[in-house]
Amino acid sequence: MAPVRNARVIFNSIPAPNTYPEPGKTTVYDDSQKIDPETVPLHGGFLVKTLVLSIDPYMRGRMRDPSIPSYSPPYPLGKPLSNFAVGRVLRSEHPAVKAGDHIYGYLPFQEYAVFTDPAQLGDVFRVLENKERLPWSAYVGVCGMPGATAHHAWHAFADAKPGETVFVTAAAGPVGATVVQLAKAAGLKVIASAGSDEKVAFVKSLGADLVFNYKKEDAKTVLEREGGIDIYWDNVGGQTLEAALDAAHVHARFIECGMISGYNAEPYAPKNLMLIVGKQIRINGFIVGSLYPKYRDQFYKEIPPMVASGQIKFSEDRSHGLEAAGEAILAVQKGTNNGKKVIVVAEDE
C-alpha cells in the first residue's frame, strides 16, 4: 500500500483570555504529512486509525498559556490537539490490543497514530466490546466521558430523593441530557435550560418537566415561579449560578461540573454567596477522572444497555473530516451545536 494522507489539526496560537478560539488561527488544519499504514514501524506498540473525535467544552481550558496551572494539561503549541476518541487498531505488536479492536481514549487530532508507550495502555485506552452495536460515536458521548460525567457525579453528589427538584443547565448537551434522564428515572421534578427552541424541544422529549430557553426567559424568574430547587447541576456558572443560589432550598446540593459562561468572556461574579451559609448548601466541584475508579465499571455495565434499549436517549451533531475541527470547537464554546459534537474522521470500514 502506498503512503496515504495523515492530516492533522495543530494547536497554532493561544487565544487571548476571555475570547473565543478562532478557526484557522487558534487551530490550523495540516494535510502535509503522509503515513504508510502497512509499513510504519510500531516498536512494540500499535497503529490506530482515528474514527471519531469528541469536541468538548473543557478543551477551551487547555488552550492556555502553559505557565497557568489548571487541572488539565495545556495543549502544546505546534502539536496536534488531542481529546477523547474512538479508533480502530490496524496493526499491533502489543499484547493488550490486536488488529480490529476498537479502542477508546485520548487520541491526537490526526487520521493515524502510532502508540509505542506501554503506559498509554490500561487506564488510558479501553478496548470497547460494544455488544450492543451502538454507533462508535456514542462512546465519546453518552457512553463516553460526558455520559460518565453525568453518571458518576450524579451518583457521587446528588443525594437525590424522589419528589425533589433538580435544575439542569446546558441540558441539551451530552452531560446535561444524561443528567435529565437519570434525574427523571430517580423520581425527581426536572427543570432544565438550553439555548435554542430546538434544544428546548429535544430536552422536553427526554421527559424534563419544565424546559426553558435561557435567551428568552430569565432563570431567576423561572426558578422562583417553580418554587425553588434542591439540586443544581451547573454547567454554566455566572448569573445562572447566582439565580440557583437565590432559588435553592435549605440543604440544597450544587454539582459544579463546568462554568462555560466564563470560558470565553470575563466571568460574572455571583453576589449572593452568603446564601451558602444560611441555606446550608453543599457544593461539589469535580473532574470526572477522579470518579472513574469508583464508578466506571458500573457505568459501562449500566449505560450502554440503557442506550441500546432507548431508555437513555442521546443526540449528536456530527461534522465530517478534520477540516471541520476548528469550527466545531468554536460551535461548542458558543453553544451553536445541537447535541453532542463529534468529528467523524473516518467511517468504520
Would you tell me which residues interact with a copy of itself (CB under 8 A)?
Answer: 61, 70-71, 237, 241, 250-251, 256-259, 262, 267, 269-287, 290
Cell of 96: 493488550
C-alpha R_g of the chain = 21
| CB of residue 57 to a copy of itself, shortest distance in Å | 11
Q: Given the complex with a copy of itself, which of 108 and 270 has the nearer CB atom?
A: 270
Cα–Cα distance for residue pair 200/85, rounded to 1 Å = 28
Q: Given the complex with a copy of itself, which of 62 and 91 has the nearer CB atom?
A: 62
Q: Given the complex with a copy of itself, which of 18 and 298 has the nearer CB atom?
A: 18
Q: Given the complex with a copy of itself, which of 205 and 272 has the nearer CB atom?
A: 272
| CB of residue 193 to a copy of itself, shortest distance in Å | 18
Q: Given the complex with a copy of itself, which of 201 and 250 has the nearer CB atom?
A: 250
Cα–Cα distance for residue pair 33/6, rounded to 1 Å = 5
Q: Given the complex with a copy of itself, which of 84 and 263 has the nearer CB atom?
A: 263
Cα–Cα distance for residue pair 54/299, rounded to 1 Å = 19
